[in-house]
Structure 1
Amino acid sequence: MFPMSGSAAVAAFGGAFPQVFPPGVVVSEQGSTPRFVYGVLEGRVETVVTTGQRESTVELHGPGSLLGLWSALGDETSPHAVRTCARTRLLVIPVDTLRALYDREPSFAREVTSMIVRQVGRAQAALADQKLRSAAERLARWLAETTQPERLGSWVKLPISKQLLASYIGTTPEHLAKGFIQLKDYGVEVRRKEVLVRDIASLRSFAQLDHATRNAA
Structure 2
Amino acid sequence: MRSDDFDQVKSLPLFARMTEQSLDNLLQGALLQQFPVGVHLIHEGDPPDFLHVLIDGLVEIFTEQDGVEWGISLLAPVSTFILAAVVGDQRYLNSARTLKESRILLIPAQGVRTILGREIAFAQTVTSELASAYRGAVKKLKGYVARSSVERLANWILSEAQSAASGKHLVLPFDRATLASHIGTTRENLSRNLAHLTEHGVRIRGREIIIDRRDLLEAFARPQRFIDDPNS
TM-score, scaled relative to structure 2: 0.83
Deviation at 1:190, TM superposition (A): 0.6
Cα deviation for residue 199 of structure 1 reads 3.6
- Cα pair 1:204 1:210 within 8 Å, conserved: no
Using the TM superposition, give the Cα deviation of residue 201 of structure 1 relative to its aligned residue in structure 2, in angstroms: 4.1
* Moved >3 Å (runs of 4+): 199-202, 210-213
Q: How many residues in Structure 1 have an aligned counterpart in Structure 2?
A: 209
AA in 2 matched with 1:6: D
**Residue 83 in 1 paired to residue 97 in 2?**
yes
Work out whether residues 152 and 196 of structure 1, in 8 Å CA contact, stay in contact via their aligned partners in 2: no
Change in Cα spacing, 1:25 to 1:44, as seen in structure 2 (3 Å) is: same
The CA distance in 2 between the partners of 1:63 and 1:150, in whole Å, is: 17
From the superposition, tell whether residues 187 and 107 of structure 1 become closer, same or farther in structure 2 (CA, over 3 Å). Answer: same
Matched with 2:160 is: 146
Give the residue type in structure 1 aligned to 2:131: V
Alignment partners' CA distance in 1, 2:184 and 2:86: 27
Match of 2:85 in 1: 71
- Structure 1 contact 6–41 (Cα < 8 Å) conserved: no
**Structure 2, unaligned runs of 5 or more:** 11-19
For residues 1-217 of structure 1, the aligned pairs below 5 Å read 6-8=5-7, 9=9, 12=23, 13-148=27-162, 151-152=166-167, 155-210=169-224
Provide the secondary structure at the position in 2 that maps to 1:63.
Answer: coil
Task: Indicate the RMSD between aligned Cα atoms, in angstroms.
Answer: 2.2
Q: Which runs of 5+ in 1 are unaligned?
A: none
- CA 1:25–1:199 in structure 2 vs 1: closer, same or farther (change >3 Å)? same
Deviation at 1:189, TM superposition (A): 0.6
Tell whether the 8 Å contact from 1:17 to 1:92 is kept in structure 2 after alignment.
yes
Tell me how far 1:6 sits from its aligned partner: 3.3
**CA-to-aligned-CA distance 1:119-177 (integer Å, 9 cap, x gap):** 11111111121222111100011011110375245x43223322211111111111111
Aligned partner of residue 181 in structure 1, secondary structure = helix
Between the aligned residues of both structures, percent identity stands at 30
TM-score by length of 1: 0.88
Q: Distance between the aligned counterparts of 1:202 and 1:212, measured in 2?
A: 21
Partners of 2:28 and 2:140 lie apart in 1 by 35
Compare 126-135 and 55-64 and name the one that shifted more.
126-135
Q: Distance in 2 between matches of 1:152 and 1:90?
A: 28
* Helix, strand or coil at the partner of 1:78: coil
Q: Deviation of residue 198 (structure 1)? A: 2.6
Amino acid at match of 1:170: G
Structure 1 pair 202/103, CA: closer, same or farther in 2 (3 Å)?
Answer: farther
